[in-house]
Structure 1
Amino acid sequence: MEKNLLTAIDFVASLPMSQQNNIKKHDDQETFAAMKDQLIQRKKLHYRCRHVTDSMCLIAVFGLVLMIIDTEMRLNEIETIIIVIIRPLIGVSTAILVGLVFYYHSLNMRLYAINNHIADWRVTITISTIAIILFEALVCAIHPFPYKNKGLSIFTLFNKSAWIQMFLTLPMFARLYLVARSVTLHSPLVNAASSRTIGYLNRVPITISFILRALLQTYPAGSWTCVMVITLLIATWALRACEAAMWLPKISVSPQPNDSTSTFSSAVWLTIVTFTTVGYGDVTPRTYCGQGVSTITAFFGVFASAVLIAVFTNKIALNRSEQSVLDFVNQINRARAYREKTVRIIQYSFRAWFLKRNGHRYRATFNSLYRLHSALEDSREIKQEQRNAVNGTESLLTMLNDVHDEQRNNDKSLTKLKNHIVHLEEKINGLENKLDVIVNMLSKNSPST
């Protein structure tokens, strides 16, 4: 092997310079052609992933709409031919959706292989990848079984499959994660080549988490409002369906639906009260299903309130210029107030001294002394505020001075190091000259041969 390699190297070295340049140019052209093919293939795979995700999102929303229509018709005991074909349509859409899930992940693995210069995309298949694909397929596969059942109220209260229908209906809202994926793939951060290049250079992967956090950072009010409104609508409908259908009732001896929460308006009120963690107690869920929905709504409400407070705090925060203007105005106002209090202290002191010296009545002297002490207390508070403001400014100035001193010390150290290097170079040059002199002397003194 080494002999063949050396032979090839000797052969290339023996070629003329023009032929070597032609070979190098040909290799560069092949490299650029391979890179171009990879970029074209990557672009095609990205567009295909985006189209597949859009199709999955539309099919998931279509299945959710059919599920809501089917549930409402069964709650209201509407018997038409439509109710017979809705659940088979849900099953067909679910089968297509599960197939698209596997197809999307195969495209995504090929795209990952191209981005990381992997020859065979099957190398990217790991246990965690398989687990994620199977979990996503399971989430998209959950749907109510297609069979004919007349109503979901008291007719199905004692039906053994009522709780199964509940567990197969409400989890279909988990398919809405496909909306977030579609928004991610349509984001300019993913489609723009400049943002992807900057992300690769800085080793920042453009993932769904990064896109959603960037969207929340850029449009905090609008994006979080949409999330909360959608969550409230889903929780309201789920609570109303649980209470109206009496799925998993707490009191099995009472087969009647909960009239207080079976209406949409009452469910909206209970959801809002639970979401804001107020809990008046005038309306309560009577079913285990309703209690579960209320618990999830309460947990999400606490999280949403914390995020909303953070967003609101960020919105009302002043920038550096505005904060400087506000501090300057407050400083002027405090200085003016301190001067006014100082003038009043002088006035009340002179008045109290005058009244006490001339023997006026005690009440007038006491009022003057009271006003004097009040002015003194106010002046002390204003002076303390001024000191606190000055301390804050001094801390910033101290930090800047420390940075400046550190930079100046670094400059001095660098100058000393440069001087040492110059000194060493001079010594080395001197030694070199001395060695040259010694060599010349030895060459002259050596006997000629």
Structure 2
Amino acid sequence: MTCRRRVVDMEFALAMIGIILMVFEAELYINQKISKLGFYSLMLKCLISLSTVFLLIFICAEYYVSAKIRALDSNIQSVLSVMTFRQWMYLVLELVVCSIHPFPGNIKFEYSSTQGVIHSVSIDAILSIVMLGRLYLVCHFAVVHSNMVTDTFIYSIGMISKTKINTTFVIKALISKRPGFLLIVVMVTTVIVNTWAYRACELYFDRNKYKKNSIFESLWIITMVFLSSDHGDVLPESYCGRFVAVMTAVMGLITSSLLIAIIAQQIEHTRSEKHVFAFASRVQTSCKKKSAAADAIKSFFKLTVLIKSGKAGYREISRLKDKVKQSLKMMRTTREEMMDIYDDTVGVVDVAEVTWRVEQRVSVLESRFNSLEEKIDLILSKVER
């Protein structure tokens, strides 16, 4: 596990170095400080390519170390035999994603804007945006350094129960444990990354509109799109910028849904609060039921007396009959409300807890019964002697 952690650390470091160099080179080009065929641009791109080569090597090494760990756990000598088809596909996919980066040189293509304006744009505009896909290694880095993976006790329990302590397991555990923190990190990261991506798309297309696509203007439009409250005052001129805006809107919808779910979970009653509320509701409903029953009996008694006396009018008799019907209806309604309160209060966890307590009590009674039976047998044997 220590060897794998070191390999993942090197992957993360190389990925971050490559992204930082790419952003630095792109910013120099956007600000018209360097050209794509200049010395500094070629030097930075060569460093990016060199870091990419080492990154691909360490990705292969990480898969080899993981396969070796699985082979040792399964008592298998061949490392390749534990590699499934899905893992080979994941390896190829990671190599393809991490191999994309701006190459040394200046390859251009004709690009048309949404208004039909044609510009000659460097292919680095697309390669730089796609290179940001390496940020998935941040999740991989966080998972490897999580205490659920580093703790040998938890890892042993996972092996015994045949549960995979992988990235999915750790992320689900983090969502359950600290949902608010994780959501804030995702939202801030999405806004920052997409702000730079949108700005790069627009300025690669037309570097003369630097003020229009400044960092603050880009942050404004990305934030508005992320919050689904775009005013339409700023529109992307490139299809690349539109694509980034669409992806930002999708991420905004997903995180907004998660935020609503987290808020609903936080304002939900705890188990103790739920039981207190249910008890108070049962008391109030029981009082309403008793009051309705008393009204029904009282109205029925008055109605019987008036009918036997023969002095009551038709209107008074109808009023008392309606009051009896309303009281009976209230009794049925309160009975249904009482059943709903019981259904909402008793959950699966409560049933499991009661079952566990009953089993514990039964086991204690069984042990006492066995000891009592042994004592009775001993007394009978002594009496027979």
- TM-score, normalised via structure 1 length: 0.61
AA in 2 matched with 1:145 = F
Aligned partner of 1:63 among 1, 15, 18? 18
Distance 2:74 2:119 in 1: 54
- 1:86 to partner: Cα distance: 1.5
Q: Deviations over 1:369-423 (max 9, x none)?
A: xxxxxxxxxx9999888545412234468x98xx99xx9xxx9xxxxxxxxxxxx
Give distance in 1, aligned partners of 2:254 and 2:72. 39
Give the one of 136, 152, 160 matched to 1:193.
152
For the structure 1 residues 184 and 380, does the alpha-carbon distance in structure 2 shift closer, same or farther, using more than 3 Å as the test? Answer: farther
Residue 142 of structure 1, aligned match among 71, 84, 100: 100
Equivalent position of 1:347 in the other structure: none
Equivalent-residue separation in structure 2 for 1:297 and 1:191 (angstroms): 34
Alignment CA distance shift 1:65-1:340 (3 Å)? farther
Match of 2:21, SS?
A: helix
Quick check: 1:231 aligned with 2:231? no
Q: CA deviation at 1:220?
A: 0.7
SS in 1 for 2:236: coil
CA distance, structure 1, for counterparts of residue 90 and residue 333 of structure 2: 58
Coordinate RMSD, CA, aligned: 3.8
- Count of residue correspondences: 314
1:319 is matched with which residue?
270
State the Cα distance separating 1:336 from its structure 2 match: 8.2
Shift of the 301–264 alpha-carbon distance from structure 1 to 2, 3 Å rule, reads same
Shift of 1:331: 5.2
Q: State the match for 1:392 in structure 2.
A: 340
1:174 to 112, 133, 136: 133
Q: Which residue of structure 1 lines up, in the alignment, with residue 88 of structure 2?
A: 130
User: CA separation of 1:276/1:386 partners in 2, compared to 1, >3 Å: closer, same or farther?
Assistant: farther
One-letter amino acid matched to 1:65: I
Q: After superposition, give the CA deviation of every residue in 1:133-158 in whole Å (9 maximum; x if it has no partner).
A: 12211111111012379xxxxxxx96
Structure-2 residue corresponding to 1:363:
none
> Which residue of the partner structure matches residue 96 of structure 1?
54
Q: Which runs of 4+ in 1 moved over 6 A?
A: 333-341, 379-385
Q: Are the aligned partners of 2:125 and 2:200 in contact in 1 as well (CA < 8 Å)?
A: no
CA contact (8 A) 2:278 2:341 kept: no
Deviation track 1:11-56 (CA, whole Å, cap 9, x = no partner) reads xxxxxxxxxxxxxxxxxxxxxxxxxxxxxxxxxxx11110010011
Q: Which residue of 2 aligns with 1:271?
A: 222
CA contact (8 A) 1:275 1:301 kept: yes
Matches within 5 A, 1:269-418: 269-330=220-281, 386-395=334-343
1:161-201 deviation digits (Å, cap 9, x = unpaired)? 52x21221111111111111111111121122221222122
- Whole-Å Cα distance in 2 between the matches of residues 393 and 197 of structure 1? 43
Deviation at 1:340, TM superposition (A): 11
Match of 2:209 among 257, 265, 280: 257
CA contact (8 A) 1:66 1:86 kept: yes
Aligned equivalents of 1:340, 1:387: Cα separation in 2? 13
d(CA) in 1 for partners of 2:341, 2:171: 38
**Aligned-residue offset at 1:275:** 1.3
What does residue 447 of structure 1 align with? none
Q: CA deviation at 1:333?
A: 6.3
Inter-partner Cα distance in structure 2 for 1:232 and 1:384: 55
Q: Distance in 1 between matches of 2:247 and 2:266?
A: 28
Alpha-carbon separation, structure 1, partners of 2:26 and 2:329: 67
Compared with structure 1, are the counterparts of its residues 74 and 393 closer, same or farther at alpha carbon in structure 2 (3 Å cutoff)?
Answer: same
Tell me how far apart the structure 1 counterparts of residues 201 and 333 of structure 2 sit (CA, whole Å): 58
Q: Is the partner of 1:143 in helix, strand or coil?
A: coil
CA distance in structure 1 between the aligned counterparts of 2:76 and 2:328, rounded to whole angstroms? 73
1:84 positional shift: 4.3
Question: What is the deviation of 1:132?
Answer: 1.9
Q: Counterparts of 1:243 and 1:340 in 2: how far apart (Å)?
A: 72
Q: Between Structure 1 and Structure 2, whose CA radius of gyration is higher?
A: 1
Deviation track 1:96-123 (CA, whole Å, cap 9, x = no partner) reads 1111111111111111111221121122
Amino acid across the alignment from 2:102? P
Cα distance per residue 1:62-92 (max 9 Å; x no partner): 1111111111111111139644422111111
- Structure 1 residues 286 and 158: CA distance shift in structure 2, 3 A: closer
Contact 1:331 1:386 in 2 (8 A): no
Q: Name which structure has the greater RCO, CA cutoff 8 Å, separation 6+.
A: 2
Q: Which residue does the alignment assign to 1:52?
A: 7
SS in 2 for 1:305: helix
Percent identity between the aligned chains? 26
Distance 1:207 1:139 in 2: 21
Cα pair 2:289 2:335 within 8 Å, conserved: no
